Amino acid sequence: MSGDLFRRAKRSYGHHLWGRLSSLRALQAGATLATRLADPLAAGYYSKIARDIEAGLSDLWINNTYWASSLADDPHGGDRSVGRALDCGFILAVLHGHTPSHNGTSNPNSFDPAQPGVLSTLRLLAKSFKGEYDINQGEWTDGWLLGRYRGDEYDGIGKSKANPWYLDQQ
């Protein structure tokens, strides 16, 4: 695979932060295992693809403000407004893609839950549900209900207001 794998991949569907982070972490673990098994070709290949994925993460960092859950470039025209670029896939991305810092160093791609970019994205995600459910009126104090994304209509059976989840501020 060439070094511009993810620049070319932006033209297609299915490029989500969760998928990229999960793949990145799996490839990093594979490179570590291949090194321990004395397979430098495999370790090098996995490391190269992991670096390509890591370089492509910046495509999802929007206006130095928040992480988009997926790329919006599609042949039908995408909407990169905050309300459409955020969904609960971001929470899964942080849970599955987080890597602890080593020796106290801070890697912007570690997706540590305390990083400013992660916190600002979570705040925007929660605020995107303002008014979506009856409890989400006024300011966010004790917690709000979140859905998969604002305006979700699929409730598991048909179309209606989708099922919300409770997010506690603590």
pLDDT tens string 16-37: 888 889 899 999 999 999 999 9
Q: Say whether both 122 and 161 belong to one domain.
A: no
Q: Nearest Cα to 149, choosing from 77, 62, 86?
A: 86
Q: Say whether both 103 and 141 belong to one domain.
A: no
Q: How many structural domains is the chain composed of?
A: 2
pLDDT value at position 77? 45
Q: Say whether both 91 and 140 belong to one domain.
A: no
Between strands 165-168 and 143-146, the pairing is antiparallel
Q: Say whether both 104 and 144 belong to one domain.
A: no
| Lowest-pLDDT choice from 19-23, 92-96, 158-162 | 158-162
Give yes or no for a contact between 136 and 144, defined as CB atoms under 8 angstroms apart.
yes
- Mean predicted lDDT score pLDDT of the chain: 77
User: What does the pLDDT average to over 81-89?
Assistant: 70
Whole-angstrom Cα distance, residue 56 to residue 74?
17
Q: Say whether both 49 and 107 belong to one domain.
A: yes
Q: How many Å separate Cα 43 from the centre of its chain? A: 26
Give yes or no for a contact between 77 and 84, defined as CB atoms under 8 angstroms apart.
no
pLDDT at 91 over 70: yes
Q: Say whether both 67 and 137 belong to one domain.
A: no
Q: Say whether both 142 and 73 belong to one domain.
A: no
Helix ranges (DSSP H) in the chain:
5-9, 17-36, 40-56, 82-85, 89-97, 116-127
CA distances from 128 to 63, 67, 82, 114, 121 (A): 17, 14, 8, 20, 10
Q: Say whether both 20 and 32 belong to one domain.
A: yes
Q: Say whether both 124 and 138 belong to one domain.
A: no
Among residues 97, 112, 128, the one where a domain terminates is 128
pLDDT value at position 139? 77
Q: Say whether both 55 and 134 belong to one domain.
A: no
Q: Say whether both 23 and 90 belong to one domain.
A: yes
The pLDDT-based confidence of 126 (bands split at 50, 70, 90) is confident
Whole-angstrom Cα distance, residue 70 to residue 58?
12
Q: Say whether both 140 and 84 belong to one domain.
A: no
The pLDDT-based confidence of 147 (bands split at 50, 70, 90) is confident
Find the domain containing 164 and state its range: 129-170
Among residues 128, 145, 162, the one where a domain terminates is 128
Share of the chain above pLDDT 70, in %: 68
The pLDDT-based confidence of 101 (bands split at 50, 70, 90) is low
Give the single-character DSSP code of 164: P
User: What does the pLDDT average to over 62-85?
Assistant: 65
